[in-house]
Structure 1
Amino acid sequence: MSVFASPRFLSNVMWADAASCAATGALQVAFTDVLANLTGLPAWLLMGTGVFLLAYAAVAAFMASRATPPRTLIGLVIVGNFAWAVACVALLVSGVFAVTALGVAWVLAQALCVVVLAELQWTGLRRTRGGARMALA
C-alpha cells in the first residue's frame, strides 16, 4: 500500500503541519530577540507570527485528531498555507526590512515547508474524495 493511499494520510499530514508550526512558533516566541538580531526581522513580527503559529498548531492538531479530518477546514488550511508562502516571498521582495542571509533562509524555509504541506494536504483531500466516491459506487 502506498503511503498516499493510507486512510490516515491526511491526518498524518495535519499532524506534521501542527508539529512544524508548534516548533517554529515556540522558537519565535522563546527566542524573539535572538532571532530578531540574527535574521534582521523585527521582534514584533517574530513574536506576532510565533503566537499565531502556536494557536494554529493547536487547531491543526485538533483537525488531525478527528477520525475523519474536516474537509472544509483543511481546504481553508491549504489556502492559508499558500497565502503564507506568498506573504513570505512578498516580505523578502519588498525590502521593507534589512533581512540578513539567515533571515532569508528562515523565511524561505517557512515558505517551502508550507507549500509542501499544502500540496500534501491537497493530495490527501483528493484521495479521500475519491475514496468516498468509490465507497458509494
Structure 2
Amino acid sequence: MATVASTVKIAADAKLLRFALKLDAMGSGANGVVYVVAAALFGEMFGLPAAFLYPAGAFLVAWAAALFFLASRPTVSKVAVGIVMAVNIAWVAASAELLIAGWFPLTGLGTALVIAQAVAVTGFTGLQFAGFRKTA
C-alpha cells in the first residue's frame, strides 16, 4: 500500500505531469546538445566560457535522459518528481545568482539567454507542480 501512495499510476490524472516532464526533457536535451556541440561559438556570442558550457551541456543531456525515463515509467515516483522540481528551482536560483554576481562577462544576448532559460524552467516546474497536484 505504501508503494501505491508514493507513485502516480498511468491515468488521465498523470497526463499533465508526464507532458511537463517530457517538455522539460526536450528543452533540456536540446540546450545540452547545442552547448556541447557549439560551446566555443556560444561562448563568444553569449560571454560564457566553453569550459562552463561543456559540463553544463553534458549535465543537461543526462538530465533530459533521466526526465524521459521518469516520464515513461508505468508509475511515476512522487519523490522523483519532487527532486526534479527541486533541481529546477535550484537551476533558476543559480541563473539569478549568475546574473547578480556577474560570474561571467555576459553579452546582452548572454543575459537574455540566462533570463529566458530561467523563465522556461520556471514554466516547466509550474506545469510539473500542477500535474503533481492533479495526481495527489
Same fold by TM (over 0.5)? yes
Question: Counterpart of 1:20 in structure 2: which amino acid?
Answer: G
Instruction: For structure 1, list consecutive stretches of 5 or more residues without a partner in the other structure.
Output: 130-137
Give the distance between the partners of 1:12 and 1:96, measured in 2 at CA.
34
Alignment of 1:22-61 (within 5 A): 22-61=29-68
CA-atom RMSD in angstroms: 1.1
State the Cα deviation string for residues 71-115 of structure 1 (Å, max 9, x = none): 110100001101100100100111121100010111111111111
Larger relative strand fraction? 2
**Residue among 48, 71, 93 paired with 1:86:** 93
Residue 66 of structure 1 deviates from its aligned partner by 1.3
- In the comparison of the two structures, how many residue pairs are matched? 125
Among all aligned residue pairs of Structure 1 and Structure 2, give the percentage whose two residues are the same amino acid: 38
Give the distance between the partners of 1:83 and 1:98, measured in 2 at CA.
22
Alignment of 1:118-137 (within 5 A): 118-129=125-136
**Residue among 102, 122, 130 paired with 1:115:** 122
Moved over 3 A (4+): none
- Residue matched to 1:66: 73
Higher relative contact order (CA 8 A, sep 6+): 2
Instruction: For structure 2, list consecutive stretches of 5 or more residues without a partner in the other structure.
Output: 1-11
